[in-house]
Amino acid sequence: MAVAYFHFYAELNDFLPRNKRRMKITHNFAERASIKDMIESLGVPHPEVDYIKVNDIYVDFSYIVQDGDIIHIYPISVTDITTPTVSVRPQSLSVIRFVLDIHLGKLATSLRLLGFDTLYRNDYADEELAEISHTQARILLTRDKGLLMRSLVHHGYYVRSTNPQQQILEVLRRFDLFNLVSPFQRCLRCNGLLESIAKEQIIDQLPETVQLQNNEFHRCQECQQIYWKGTHYERLQQFIDGVLEQKE
């Protein structure tokens, strides 16, 4: 039996059993395995890892673990004193877009409200989510660690909080998005972009009170849903203000 010693840093410990957090993990192994597979067998999904040092040398995911290796694994939040010569972090995305798993419906609505391109359906299968994330270069947000471990997933993040109010702050902080917030640009139902539309064009679709009280309308270019500053508007604006106040 060979042995390797693992040190996981910062939030990577969230994935370890309580009795193994923030300490050296002694891992016995009999079969030849890549460091990626071994990290995941200990419970940590690969998209959460930024860089890996083995016996003080930076390695990528393909490194084959050797007997006696001392392995340090760092998440994105930890900056090393020296710049890593090898990073396993995927190339940064020029446009931040998301795809969310079934458990994150409220977070999807919040992200759309804040203007972020966010795919969500409550019937996406796991394969589909991984495929969409891969082919469309979308960050997969999930509460399912197994889903993040799929090899197709490069850009992914495990949402820690189960509270939707906290989740939106967690995602904005993790991806540094506060300055990109652009509210009321997207359809909350389908993610389509909104366009302003003249009242005359849609007047027959509006309830009478809405016709009388509003002059400004937007329509989703995809599903044709019409939006106006109705009773929900103030609550949504308060939600947005509350989120932006948390910017650090």
Q: List residues binding Zn ion (CB under 5 A).
A: 187, 189-190, 192, 220, 222-223, 225
CA-atom Rg of the chain in angstroms: 22
Nearer to Zn ion by C-beta: 161 or 225?
225
The CB-of-102 to Zn ion minimum distance in angstroms stands at 20
Q: How far is the CB of 222 from Zn ion (least distance, A)?
A: 5
Comparing C-alpha atoms, which of 99, 244, 87 is closest to residue 180?
Answer: 244
Q: Which of 16, 206 has the CB closer to Zn ion?
A: 206
Buried b (16+ CB within 10 A) or exposed e, 181-219: bebbebbbebbbebeebeeeeeeeebeeeeeeeeeebbb
Q: How far is the CB of 206 from Zn ion (least distance, A)?
A: 17
Cα–Cα distance between 248 and 245 in angstroms, integer? 8
Nearest distance, CB of residue 189 and Zn ion, angstroms: 5
Q: How far apart are CA 111 and CA 178, in angstroms?
A: 11
3-state secondary structure of 112: helix
Nearer CB in complex with Zn ion: 88/194: 194
- Neighbouring CB atoms inside 10 A of 111's CB total 28
Angle at 165 between CA 246 and CA 102, to 5 degrees: 135
Q: Which is nearer to Zn ion, 43 or 192 (CB)?
A: 192
Least distance between Zn ion and beta carbon 117 (Å): 13
Cβ closer to Zn ion: 168 or 220? 220
Phi, psi of 134 (to 5 degrees): -70, -55
Q: How many whole angstroms separate alpha carbon 131 and alpha carbon 148? A: 12
CB of 218 to Zn ion, least distance (A): 10
Q: Let me know how long the chain is.
A: 248
Phi, psi values for residue 221, rounded to 5°? -70, -20
Nearest to Zn ion of 12, 188 (CB atom): 188
Instruction: For the CB of residue 187, give the shortest distance to Zn ion in the complex, in Å.
Output: 3
Angle between helical axes of 164-174 and 105-113 (0-180°, round to 10): 60
Which one, 16 or 190, has the nearer CB to Zn ion?
190
For the record, the structure tokens of 163 come out as: 């509270």
